[in-house]
Structure 1
Amino acid sequence: MKKLLLPALLLTPLLSLAQADLVKHVNPLVGTAKMGHTYPGATVPFGMVQLSPDTDTIPYAVDGKYNKDVYKYCAGYQYDDKTIVGFSHTHFSGTGHSDLGDFLIAPTTGRLQLNPGTEDRPESGYRSAFSHKNEVAEPAYYKVKLDDHNITAELTATNRVGMHQYTFPKSDEAHIILDLMSGIYNYDGKNVWTFVRVENDTLITGYRQTNGWARTRTVYFAMAFNKPFYQYGNKNYDEEQVYKGFWRKFDQTKNFPEFAAKKLRAYFDFKTEEGEKIKVKFALSPISTEGALANMRAEIPHWDFEQVKQQGQAQWNKELNKVVVSAEKDDLVNFYTALYHAFLGPTTYMDVDGKYRGLDMNVHQAKGFTNYTSFSLWDTYRALHPLFNIVQPKRNADMVKSMLAHYDQSVHKMLPVWSHHANENWCMIGYHSVPVIADAVMKGNTNFDANRALEACVTTARNNYYDGLSYYMEMGYVPEDKNGSSVSKTLEYAYDDWCIAQMAKKLNRQDIYEEFIKRSQNYKNVYDAKSGYMRPRLSDGSWKKEFDPLDTHGQGFIEGNSWNYSLYVPHDPAQMVAMMGGKRRFAQHLDSLFTMELPGRYFENTEDISRDGIIGNYVHGNEPSHHVAYLYNWTDQPWKTQERTRMVLKAMYKPTVDGLGGNDDFGQMSAWYVFSALGFYPVAPGSEHYAIGSPAVKSASINLENGKTFVIDVKNQKDRNVYVQRIELNGKDINRSYITHSEIMDGGRLTFHMGSKPNKKLMAVAP
């Protein structure tokens, strides 16, 4: 690794001639234990297919009551499980909600069983026991032995096609099961309809309609085998037996070319020789089976599994080489696994011809851009999209175009809140497409109509019907007796409004600027100077009497408490510091956040995060705290930012299966790591500034799409040397606690000189 990295760092132009093999530093199993909610399977950067094992399929309810185990399986896989049910083609990475898990495939031998069985009795169904000793997870590749069937399963993928390779023993009873009932976040009624058409003895097509987190989702597929099956069939699990059997004129259960039902499992039978490989290509489309077939033919027109794997890993190496770092072994795994997770989404959502299904359920054509879906914006606006504006600017501009297309198709005339697969889930709060768009505009990444984007942001922010906005516009805050999570909403709306104001100022829209810069000050309306905390107000203007800054129940906050959210004014930290008693008192407040003992009642939903994600009252597993360690830069003690960020890097990220201190939240946790390991962080997306922290790498080269390279060089890097002694930008000392986006994009060299004791005279100038 040193032979590859050091020449690249010293002679950065050589990076264009040869790429480092960085795939070997990625461990997709990181975060698959506890609550990281990552999946270990095969996918390519921003790929539409996420082909991954599911270790259980959990019903949403048991005996009519919510099943708490559902939360564990947001990604379909838990490392501690002993069995694998099968391999499905769609997964979220690191989310706190579940859906997807489409088209589960399970290879089996022996007597045909179409029930998945249970973990304690896997022999009662088609699932299989497995051992991690026989499991391999790499970018674009997954391998495992299914012990109960003596089958070695291998998975790889292109953007829109998953490829399976199953090595069978000698058997006259070899089966490949296609389960159209299985899914993540399952409940009775989720499947609206499934349809399978046997085109010939090697090609199957069909679709699945679901009513899950996304209420109206249809996914089409084409499934091809490298060997003809000799017989096939299905079982219809519909209790009501509606529409079964073409008006009962035919027996659909065996060797009939079409079958359809709400609850359906199909099977395809083979006879295999010892070591014979049955290969499956499985293509997806949001439009049609014809689109799925076209995707398959375009992306995998052959049966060479190894070629697909190598091409997928080459794609990963290309993306990972956008940031080439030198670091200790564990830190390399942490860094490149984080960068890998950051590049898993949002995901492509269109066929190879550019067609996709829109929010209006009509077919649209993406002209001149890639359409993306799965926008977990309450999480990802904070660091993931700002990271993209540095290392994936073209993709990020296309993501903005995708958001604007969503807006055009929305009957509410709203930008996305949490959207996926042509649906708006309305999950979480705020209108956080706005900071994503504003960050792109302010940083000059505007391969889209910026004025049109501004109008979409303004229209979204003026929507009288959305989540307490009418109260916010009328009263300057959201009243808790009228709309829950009122303080969180007020604070987040105020920040989003500041982003609109910044865009308007840059685009010379003074009228819009004045309206929204005024709205951005609404955070002051929920600050109670007497208690020193942000606090819920009622519609009569009074403070809600029952108040505990550590509690979340009915206190006006979401995924946080008053102590955390009182620090959420990312767009105006200097004023926040003054409002809360000045620099010294504010620094003491931050100190207590990291050192206090947090009562167990912190979360309204104790599933949401484990104790592993908490340092004192600082909750790294929930995003409202992600900027907090950097706020010392606005006090007279900026060295504490350096100390705290290095502490969080060590405590919350490890190269182990339980190495994430909370949900990765579609790459936000990972993007925090990437930024912080490089030594800076976007406290307020929509600003050009990045707050300085303490780098954890020895050196880094950020290879920009504009052809330039920004080098980070860290002198005297050691575990104990967490404090910045001096900073040079292109050979000149800078005595400030920030760098700018323009300085990064211009290329050059940022040099950190580190030491074991703080330099209290350094970085006196905050952003």
Structure 2
Amino acid sequence: MKTGLLALLFLISAMCYSQKAPKKNYEYINPMIGTQRMGHTFPGATIPFGSVQLSPETDTIAYELNKKYNGEVYKYCAGYQYDDKTIVGFSHTHFSGTGHSDLGDFLIMPTTGTLQLNPGTAANPQSGYRSAFSHANEVAQANYYKVKLDDHNIVAELTTSQRVGFHKYTFPKSSDSHIILDLMAGIYNHKEKNVWTFVRVENDTLITGYRQTQGWARTRTVYFAMAFSKPIKNYGVQKYDADNIYKGFWRRFDETKNFPEAAGKNLKMYFDFDTKEGEAIMIKMALSPVSTAGALANMKQEIPHWDFEKTKRDGQQLWEKELDKVKVETINEADKVNFYTALYHAFINPTVYMDIDGSYKGLDQNIHKAEGFTNYTTFSLWDTYRALHPLFNIVQPKRNADMIQSMLAHHDQSVHKALPVWSHYANENWCMIGYHAVSVIADAVAKDNTGFNTDKALQACINSSNLEYYDGIKFYKELGYVPEDKNGSSVSKTLEYAYDDWCIAQMAKKLGKQEVYNDYIKRSANYNNVFDKTIGYMRPKLSDGTFKKQFDPLDTHGQGFIEGNAWNYSLYVPQDPEALIQLNGGKEKFAVHLDSLFTMTLPDKYFENTEDITRDGIIGNYVHGNEPSHHVVYLYNWVGQPYKTQQRVRMIMDAMYKPAPDGLGGNDDTGQMSAWYIFSSLGFYPVAPGSDVYALGSPKIKEATLTLENGKTFTVSAKNQSAKNVYVSKVELNGKLLNSTFIKHADITNGGNLVFYMGSKPKK
């Protein structure tokens, strides 16, 4: 009997073991998505909104300090390109999905054999410290990256906490094992990128220092504390002048070997070890925006141990907690990978920018302390106001309110008294156009996510809108438009300023500021001033009041637009689609115009060459890879043809988002592309942030449950969901038939159920 019972128990145990446990949400994340072509994402390790993004660099033009800009730097905005065959090293700061480069701080590379401190070339990796690698030996997961460095026979593993990068390098047996710290490397092409660097060997396991750069950010200082799990055998430094000439001596001291301090514009350090076969050397690299003492405190607080697996697990649990806010069931696993990877990319930026005690460097370059909020940086607002911040108002409202507090702190520290435009690491880059921080703030106010001083926020928005020496605002206020002969990209600026002014008006109205509302609702109609009724397009106007004569609505160059053409921007009046439809001759004509956007073919002459990056993300003349078109597919709801929104939004999701390295149809733009996918998968989209209204589309999920911070849940389900059933026959909200193609923010935050009934035929 005992034998039979034991056998039965063994059989049951074996059966249970053979049944795989259900996947965690974070296991659907594929950080490789977007690493090929122009997605500009990175595959390395980070936690949600983490200060450290620890990732491999496959190349950057910045290594060739004397080489002039040749366009290649655009490829390496995230430092990694999937098609490359070599890895240069692993650095600690990255942008995710941007169209501009910077960061790439504190590159570390493990090597064996003869010490080489130059990176070498991709064609001949043995000429430097870089190494060949294979994707077959590469693993990328949430908060974990692993790769074998073939030329050195070293296995590299990476994980992170909020402010600390944790490296684990498993070496072969060698008396010539090295860890290289390259303080010259970075993701920006500038001969004089480094302003100053400093390193100090505190003891045989601890290094501290800082680097100040003048890359895209004009003045950016990052401090570090670097701890080894094993004492250093020998160490040294090489110093280079501005002409890339090696300098070894400083006054009476030879700095090249075992001298504990070094300072200069361009430094490279090395640390020697003896290693046994399979021995792991671990490194903790903590960062701080304030001081080396701050970096060391961050390390001691966040990772006081040497348990690599614990740090990896802790970070993955943080991802699980965040992803759990949106639980989805999909038609197939590929869609689930797309969804959770999009949510992953949406939750990378903005990044936390302060030490554990709340200290950070402000825009005025002084040290400040975040009191009562978490300070954030990396605000790519021209991109993210459209869908990313509206997504945060649903699933990350506390963080979004803190981000707005960070923007208000930026305003207070600004000599201009202006909100951020595109800012990172205590710098304003003034990149792109508009003053779209006001959209983010107005959207939060419209949706009652006001964990900040709303009166102060309104005044900050007004200040930004009246910054007359910024990008044609003086002319915009005087003439009601930006004249092309005085300021380029004039139509785009006029349209975006008008939208932002509408946002200010909506905020003023909700806060009871009637005079402000009256002023800004009038300014918000300025889009009319650049619409040429004779041709039916937005068109650049000159300072004398006439339209620019030489004009091609399909051309993107020199026609008054940025990242788009007249076709794209003539559909950009998100604050008033009804008025836009009337400008275009009514619903029927406007619907034809929308149709042609998706069905036309752009001739080759409108591209610089057949491999031009602007070909990414294009369907007809609809440019999904550039944000001005992101709301356009939902405009069919305003012309009584929602079935076309439904069909085309599913077409865009299938064409532009795939679970593969080349699976993004353009730059992810710090999460905006991903946020568009998340909203569209759920079946609704914020066409005009600053309003509490969402336009309905065609969900791609079977079911999604949103767990909200107020303790309520909102469930979206799609009955009869399939790849063919892209059309919506009816929608029910909380059991009642919805007789419009819109829902409100309160419908979500009050909790409840939104049910789509799907079919294969359009309901006209």
Give me the TM-score of the superposition, normalised by structure 2: 0.96
Matched, 1:644 2:659: no
Runs of 4+ in 1 over 4 A off after TM superposition: 60-65, 239-247, 603-608
Tell me by how many angstroms 1:66 deviates: 2.6
**Corresponding residue number in structure 2 for 1:319:** 322
1:486 equivalent among 490, 505, 513? 490
Q: In the alignment, is the contact (CA less than 8 A) between 2:236 and 2:258 conserved in 1?
A: yes
User: Matches of 1:355 and 1:39 in 2, distance apart?
Assistant: 28
Change in 2 beyond 3 A, CA 1:608/1:415 = farther
Q: Which amino acid aligns with 1:636?
A: G
Matching residue within 729, 732, 743 for 1:728: 732
Distance 2:543 2:521 in 1: 23
Deviating more after overlay: 50-59 vs 342-351: 50-59
Instruction: Give the equivalent residue in structure 1 for 2:620.
Output: 616
1:186, CA displacement in angstroms? 2.8
- Superposed CA offset, 1:463-515 (max 9, x none): 11111000000000000000000000000000000000000000000010000
Amino acid at match of 1:403: M
Moved more, 137-146 or 55-64: 55-64
- In the other structure, the counterpart of 1:13 is none
Pick from 574, 577, 602 the counterpart of residue 578 of structure 2: 574
Q: Which residue of 2 aligns with 1:46?
A: 49
What residue in structure 2 maps to residue 475 of structure 1?
479
CA distance in 1, matches of 2:38, 2:619: 16
Structure 1 equivalent of residue 546 of structure 2: 542
SS in 1 for 2:61: coil
Tell me which of 494, 501, 505 is aligned to 2:505: 501
Alignment correspondent of 2:305? 302
Deviation at 1:185, TM superposition (A): 1.1
Cα separation, 2, equivalents of 1:741 and 1:47 = 28
Q: Decide whether the 8 Å contact of 2:173 with 2:276 is kept in 1.
A: yes
> Counterpart in 1 of 2:408?
404
Q: Distance in 1 between matches of 2:345 and 2:680?
A: 15
What aligned pairs does 1:220-259 form with structure 2 within 5 A after superposition? 220-239=223-242, 248-259=251-262
| 1:748-763 equivalences in 2 (<5 Å) | 748-760=752-764
Residue aligning to 1:417: 421
Taking the TM superposition and a 5 Å limit, the aligned residue runs for 1:108-507 are 108-239=111-242, 248-327=251-330, 328-507=332-511
State the one-letter code of the partner of 2:169.
Y
| Counterpart residue identity of residue 376, structure 2 | Y
Tell me if the contact between 2:598 and 2:622 (Cα under 8 Å) persists in the aligned partners.
yes
**Residue 67 (structure 1) aligned with residue 60 (structure 2):** no
| Deviation digits for residues 250-284 of structure 1 (CA, Å, limit 9, x no counterpart) | 11111000011111100000000011010000000
Going from structure 1 to structure 2, the CA distance change for 1:268 and 1:312 (only over 3 Å counts) comes to same
What displacement does 1:607 show?
A: 7.8
**Matching residue's letter, 1:487:** V
The counterpart of 2:524, out of the listed 520, 527, 531, is 520
Q: Give the secondary-structure state (helix, strand or coil) at the position aligned to 2:525.
A: helix
Cα distance change, pair 612–215 in 1 and its aligned pair in 2 (3 A): closer
CA 1:606–1:262 in 2, change beyond 3 Å: closer, same or farther?
farther
Choose the corresponding residue for 2:637, options 629, 633, 639: 633
The equivalent of 2:693 in structure 1 is: 689
The secondary structure found in structure 2 opposite 1:314 is helix
Output one character per residue of 1:325-377: Cα deviation in whole Å (capped at 9) or x when no partner.
00011100000000000000000000000000000000000001000000000
Q: Which amino acid aligns with 2:227?
A: A
Q: Which secondary structure does the structure 2 equivalent of 1:66 belong to?
A: coil
Q: Which runs of 5+ in 1 are unaligned?
A: 1-17, 761-767
Relative to structure 1, the CA distance from residue 531 to residue 239 in structure 2 (aligned partners, 3 Å threshold; closer, same or farther) is: closer
**Structure 1 counterpart of 2:709, which letter?**
E
Q: Distance in 2 between matches of 1:104 and 1:731?
A: 56
Cα gap change, 1:431/1:329 in structure 2, threshold over 3 Å: closer, same or farther?
Answer: same
In the alignment, the residues of structure 1 paired with residue 548 and residue 278 of structure 2 have an alpha-carbon distance, to the nearest angstrom, of 70
Partner deviation per Cα, 1:440-467 (whole Å, 9 max, x = no partner): 0110000000111000001110111111
State the shift of 1:405 in Å.
0.1
Secondary structure of the residue that 1:698 maps to in structure 2? strand
Count how many residue pairs are aligned between Structure 1 and Structure 2: 743
Give me the whole-angstrom Cα distance separating, in 2, the residues matched to 1:115 and 1:85.
10
Distance 2:128 2:243 in 1: 23
Instruction: Quote the residue 2:12 is aligned against.
Output: none
What's the RMSD between the two structures over aligned residues?
A: 1.6
Asked whether the 8 Å contact 2:54–2:160 carries over to 1, the reply is yes
- Give the partner amino acid of 2:100: H
Q: 1:247 offset after TM fit, Å?
A: 5.2
Mapping for residues 93-104 of structure 1, pairs under 5 Å:
93-104=96-107
One-letter identity of the residue aligned with 1:70: V
- Compute the displacement of 1:249 (Å): 1.4
Among 666, 677, 687, the residue aligned to 1:673: 677
TM-score normalised according to structure 1 size:
0.95
Q: Where does residue 8 of structure 2 map in the other structure? A: none
For residue 612 of structure 1, report the CA deviation from its aligned partner. Answer: 3.8
Matches of 1:177 and 1:564, distance apart in 2 = 48
Residue 577 of structure 1 aligns to which amino acid in structure 2? I
What's the offset of the Cα at 1:609?
3.2
- 1:561 pairs with 2:565: yes
Q: Compare 52-61 and 662-671 and name the one that shifted more.
A: 52-61
Residues of 2 paired with 1:91 and 1:239: CA distance?
25
In the TM superposition, residue 64 of structure 1 has moved relative to its aligned partner by 6.2
Give yes or no for contact 2:326–2:704 (8 Å, CA) kept in 1: yes
Tell me how far apart the structure 2 counterparts of residues 151 and 64 of structure 1 sit (CA, whole Å). 31
In the alignment, is the contact (CA less than 8 A) between 1:88 and 1:101 conserved in 2?
Answer: yes
Distance change in 2, residues 1:665/1:604 (3 Å): farther
1:586 maps to 590
Structure 2 counterpart of 1:7: none
Q: Secondary structure at the match of 2:427?
A: coil
Provide the C-alpha distance between the structure 2 equivalents of 1:180 and 1:250, rounded to a whole number of angstroms.
21
Q: Which amino acid aligns with 2:505?
A: A
Write out per-residue CA displacement over residues 104-134 of structure 1, whole angstroms, 9 at most, x where no aligned residue: 0000000100010000100010000000000
**Partner Cα separation in structure 1 for residue 22 and residue 264 of structure 2:** 50
CA contact (8 A) 1:122 1:129 kept: yes
Assess if the C-alpha contact under 8 Å between 1:96 and 1:608 holds in 2.
no
SS in structure 2 at match of 1:664: coil
Determine the C-alpha separation between the residues in 2 that align with 1:227 and 1:176.
12
Residue deviations 1:1-56, cap 9 Å, x none?
A: xxxxxxxxxxxxxxxxx997101111000000000000000000000000000001
Letter in 2 for 1:82: K
Maintained 8 Å contact 2:489/2:560: yes
Partners of 1:474 and 1:451 lie apart in 2 by 26
Task: Report deviation, 1:238.
Answer: 1.3
In structure 1, what is the equivalent of residue 39 of structure 2? 36
> In the alignment, what sits opposite 1:764?
none
Partners of 1:38 and 1:94 within 8 A in 2: yes
* Inter-partner Cα distance in structure 2 for 1:475 and 1:388: 36
Deviation at 1:636, TM superposition (A): 2.0
Structure 2: 5+ residue runs without aligned partners? 1-20
CA contact under 8 A between 1:559 and 1:603: conserved in structure 2? no
Q: 1:285 to 1:404 in 2, by over 3 A?
A: same
Q: CA 1:504–1:31 in structure 2 vs 1: closer, same or farther (change >3 Å)? A: same
**Residue 244 of structure 1, CA deviation:** 6.8
Q: Provide the rounded CA distance (Å) in 2 between the counterparts of 1:113 and 1:47.
A: 32
Identity of aligned residues (%): 72
Q: Give how far 1:522 is off.
A: 0.1
